[in-house]
């Protein structure tokens, strides 16, 4: 997967030292520090291999990688002053705007090459942009969908939709939940990821598609009142909560691959496990349509440059351009089964290319949009790009957990909206000077 990377790197360094490079200036040389999260082992190993390859393929720039446990990663950046950050750091897409607000990221237009920026897929471009500037670039993105066990679907006489246009309506989905519960060995039709914690980011990531599909959203123009607690959102989440009757809590962590449930609501990263377990019985489907078209979340780990890189933008740019080559992206997505972050790498993908098993995710990301401009045609929607996002997802997640436990939907969303607006008011709307 990485054949030819050395040649790509030589071209990158040549570009960065001439007029065509992203930094438009001097030589790329020196040492740079790089921070990344230590997630799944295969992903961390792939990143370390890429850093080693970058360093061994040339003598001008040395990247020094520090892996930080994922559970501590974001809080480590938050607690580190801007001047003590590395030149290059990874971040989860929803946190990008908060780091811009804290002046811990710099725009990338004069750091990475124009070729790198022009080659991004729509979802990566959408989630890496804030205030019309690029602050993050990603090697990959994620997809969210409904996975099915074809053997159980066939037993219930249900045909699986395979494109966004064919998505089940929410009424059809609920009918099928009852039918599939009858044929699922556990007596439950679907795993919605309850074990991952609806109060955590999982809850926001997996339920916002419901409200976007119903015509709602989380915030508009920096306000949650009248938006988060809108009737569209109340209706959507009342239906979501009603699915508990058919949902397996999946305390084993293997309900779907073990064939205990017919459906599961999760992302692309589970494909290797599901494919090995179910083989040709594994089917990928769009999420249900609540009336405004099927929707799905997106936005994953991305890379940015800190103010420390302003002293050596050529070196930071060379490293980032290297990570965004098709060869580097190919090595990473081979490890984590994610959606390739460049259009050219996506076209070559054995998983996400035309007529491939996960093509649906690639199609969804091709029609990405922001959470304040959701259209019926848009499928992949980015979570709100705002410095106040940590408050938004915390308040919304708390509401989701209570709603799943039986609390009144309107009351919980009213409380969440008040908490969000109070925080935004206290912070002057999180407006950058």
What Cα–Cα distance (Å) separates residue 76 from each residue in 32, 35, 198, 203, 272? 19, 10, 24, 23, 31
Helix, strand and coil in the chain, % to nearest 5: 50, 15, 35
Q: What is the pTM of this model?
A: 0.88
Residue 134 in 3-state DSSP? Answer: strand
3-state secondary structure (DSSP) of residue 188: coil
pLDDT in tens, 263-297: 999 999 999 999 999 999 999 999 999 999 999 99
Q: What is the pLDDT of residues 47-90, one digit of tens each?
A: 999 999 999 989 999 999 999 999 899 999 999 999 999 999 99
- Other Cβ atoms less than 10 A from the Cβ of 251: the count is 9
List phi, psi (to 5°) of 185. Answer: -55, -30
Tens digit of pLDDT for each residue in 322-370?
999 999 999 999 988 899 999 999 988 999 988 899 999 999 988 889 8
Mean predicted lDDT score pLDDT of the chain: 92
231 or 29, greater pLDDT: 231
CATH number belonging to the domain at 144-298+371-430, selected among 3.30.70.890, 3.40.50.2000, 3.30.930.10, 3.40.190.10? 3.40.190.10
- Report the pLDDT value the prediction gives residue 353, as an integer from 0 to 100: 84
pLDDT over threshold 80, residue 5: no
DSSP label at residue 302: E
Strand partners, 301: 92
- For residue 110 the two structure tokens come to 């004069």
Q: Going by C-beta distance under 8 Å and a sequence separation of 6 or more, which residues neighbour residue 30?
A: 60, 61, 62, 312, 315
Tokens 């304040």 sit on residue: 372
Buried b (16+ CB within 10 A) or exposed e, 174-192: bebbebbbebbebebbbbb
The span from the CA of 203 to the CA of 373, in Å, is 21
Residue 299 near residue 267 (C-beta atoms within 8 A): no
What is the pLDDT, as a whole number, of residue 433? Answer: 60
Specify burial of residue 206 (Cβ count, 10 A radius: 0-12, 13-18, 19+).
buried
Is residue 369 within 8 Å of 126, Cβ to Cβ? yes
pLDDT of residue 13: 43
Which pLDDT band holds residue 197 (cuts at 50, 70, 90)? very high
Distance between CA 343 and CA 362 in Å, rounded?
A: 10
The set of residues, in sequence order, having a beta carbon less than 8 Å from that of 380 and lying 6+ positions away, is: 122, 123, 126, 143, 295, 296, 297, 298, 364, 365, 367, 368, 369
Domain coordinates of the chain in residue numbers?
5-142+299-349, 144-298+371-430
Name the fold adopted by 5-142+299-349.
D-Maltodextrin-Binding Protein; domain 2 (3.40.190)
């Amino acid at each position: 997967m990485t054949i030819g990377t050395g040649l790509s790197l030589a071209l990158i360094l040549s570009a960065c030292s001439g007029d065509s490079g992203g930094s438009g200036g001097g030589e790329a040389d020196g040492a740079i520090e790089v921070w990344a999260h230590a997630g799944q082992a295969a992903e961390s190993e792939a990143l370390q291999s890429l850093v080693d390859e970058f360093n061994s393929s040339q003598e001008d720039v040395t990247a020094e990688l520090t892996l930080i446990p994922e559970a501590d990663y974001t809080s480590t950046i938050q607690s580190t002053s801007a001047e003590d950050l590395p030149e290059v750091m990874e971040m989860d897409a929803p946190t990008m705007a908060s780091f811009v607000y804290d002046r811990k990221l710099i725009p990338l237009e004069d750091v990475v090459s124009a070729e790198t920026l022009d080659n991004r897929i729509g979802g990566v471009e959408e989630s890496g942009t804030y205030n019309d500037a690029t602050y993050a670039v990603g090697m990959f993105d994620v997809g969210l969908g409904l996975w099915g066990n074809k053997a159980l679907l066939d037993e219930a006489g249900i045909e699986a939709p395979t494109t966004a246009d064919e998505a089940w309506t929410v009424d059809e989905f609920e009918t099928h939940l009852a039918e599939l519960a009858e044929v699922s060995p556990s007596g439950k039709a679907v795993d919605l990821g309850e074990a991952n914690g609806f109060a955590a980011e999982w809850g926001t990531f997996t339920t916002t598609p419901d409200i976007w599909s119903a015509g709602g959203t989380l915030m508009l123009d920096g306000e949650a009142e009248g938006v988060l607690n809108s009737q569209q959102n109340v209706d959507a989440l009342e239906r979501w909560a009603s699915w508990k009757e058919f949902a397996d809590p999946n305390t084993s962590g293997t309900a779907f691959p073990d064939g205990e449930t017919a459906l599961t609501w999760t992302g692309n990263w589970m494909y290797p496990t599901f494919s090995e377990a179910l083989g040709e019985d594994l089917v990928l489907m769009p999420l249900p349509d609540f009336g405004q078209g099927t929707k799905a979340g997106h936005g994953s780990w991305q890379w940015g440059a800190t103010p420390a890189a302003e002293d050596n933008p050529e070196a930071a740019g060379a490293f980032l351009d290297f990570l965004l080559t098709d060869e580097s992206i190919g090595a990473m997505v081979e490890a984590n089964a994610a959606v390739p972050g460049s259009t050219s790498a996506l076209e070559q993908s054995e998983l996400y290319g035309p007529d491939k098993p996960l093509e649906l995710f690639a199609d969804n990301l091709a029609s990405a949009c922001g959470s304040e401009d959701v259209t019926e045609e848009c499928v992949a929607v980015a979570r709100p790009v705002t410095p106040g996002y940590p408050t938004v997802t915390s308040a919304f997640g708390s509401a989701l957990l209570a709603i799943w436990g039986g609390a009144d939907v309107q009351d919980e969303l009213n409380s969440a909206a008040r908490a969000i607006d109070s925080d935004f008011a206290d912070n002057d709307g999180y407006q950058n000077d």
